[in-house]
Amino acid sequence: MIRAGIVGGTGYTGVELLRLLLPHPEVEVAVITSRAEAGQRVDAHFPNLRGYGDLCYTPPDLAELDTLDVVFFATPHGVAMDHAPGLLAKGVRVIDLGADFRLADAGLFARWYGMAHRAPEALAEARYGLPEYYRKQVGEARLVANPGCYPTAVILGFAPLLAEGLLEDGGLIADCKSGVSGAGRAARVDLIFPEVADSVNAYGVSGHRHRPEIEAVLSDIRGSGLELQFTPHLMPMIRGIHATLYGQLRRPLSDAALQDLFARRYAGEPFVDVMPFGSHPATRSVRGANVCRIALHQPRPGRVVILSVIDNLVKGAAGQAVQNMNRMFSLPEEMGLAHIALLP
């Protein structure tokens, strides 16, 4: 059995990790941390986990984490970078659901996250945990940077066309909507029910920290630098990300050729569903499942619109982290991730 620890076990992604890892046939969750709830039973706070053991929260303690096989950091940025080097030195593998190791360039990290990177050596060895594009690297990694939720939806949608050099540089747009759980569980007035219900707003239009992540990864996949407009919106729903991606083709492609390109690129990928051409995937169709559903449109010749939906807490966070763990420990990638989305 893989002995796993979760740092940040009271947040939405930490609890989602528990939902996926407690029934995982090859994993024993040995440590779950919370500073605020140390000593409390996990299922006293999260009754959906009753019947899955008697785990209690402990304070984050490096000596205890040192003894594990893998530690997941489901913490705000700036936490994992302080612990990862010590854990790696003890042979513990690390998966960070936060942003500490996503931007390979420490200068870029400092600019967007407002803090100097405190573990540049670990940053240099971290691998970006999007198995559909970095499967081999994830399999060999000791430290995996789990992608951001918006970047997962945007990259999986844009990458097949960009990798083939089929999109013009100008006019790449990612217009995205997120459920409120994307902002985490910490109390904030702008996230209480009367503030978010029955209303929609854009935010971060002039610059959101996921933009450099998306641009860096798509540039890497394409093999040359690119820029895009990323516009996130907060939606009055709990889970889900819906990305509407706009691009202009460099040369004419029929609808059937477009569809075939995506179908071939994601053939055999257990967690990417290329829907019939012209479909309109709903976030509801991925709720609770580790899947990204993609649909293609070409409303006018050359204008491509790609729709990509994920559950931010599953394929956008905890599910992808388990997929990465499976890969790092040479288990089948689908293990423990066979959930069908909740409908309605």
Ligand X SMILES: CC(=O)N[C@@H](CCC(=O)OP(=O)(O)O)C(=O)O
Ligand Y SMILES: NC(=O)C1=CN([C@@H]2O[C@H](COP(=O)(O)OP(=O)(O)OC[C@H]3O[C@@H](n4cnc5c(N)ncnc54)[C@H](OP(=O)(O)O)[C@@H]3O)[C@@H](O)[C@H]2O)C=CC1
Residues that bind ligand Y (CB under 6 A): 7-14, 34-37, 60, 74-77, 79, 97-99, 148-149, 181-182, 184-186, 312-313, 316-317
Residues 88, 107 contacting (CB under 8 angstroms): no
148 binds ligand X (CB under 6 A): yes
Residue 11 interacts with which of ligand X, ligand Y, none, CB < 5 to 8 Å by class: ligand Y
Phi-psi sector, 64: left (phi>0), alpha (psi -120 to 50), beta: alpha
What is the spatial distance between Cα 117 and Cα 321, in angstroms, rounded to a whole number? 22
Of the pair 24, 210, the CB lying nearest ligand X is at 210
Scanning residues 93 to 132, which ones bind ligand X (CB under 6 A)?
A: 98-99
176 belongs to the catalytic site:
no
Of the pair 186, 202, the CB lying nearest ligand Y is at 186
Angle ∠(124,103,188) on CA atoms, nearest 5: 130
Applying CB under 6 A, among 34, 58, 75, 178 the residue interacting with ligand X is 178
Q: How far is the CB of 75 from ligand Y (least distance, A)?
A: 4
Q: How far is the CB of 294 from ligand Y (least distance, A)?
A: 19
Query: Token digits for 224?
Result: 């040359």
Going by C-alpha positions, the residue among 218, 228, 230 that lies closest to residue 176 is 230
Of the pair 10, 308, the CB lying nearest ligand Y is at 10
- Give the single-character DSSP code of 33: E
Residues 156, 272 contacting (CB under 8 angstroms): yes
234 binds ligand X (CB under 6 A): yes
CB atoms within 10 A of CB 23: 11
- Residues marked as catalytic: 149
Q: Give the binding site for ligand X (CB under 6 A).
A: 98-99, 148-149, 178, 182-183, 210, 232, 234
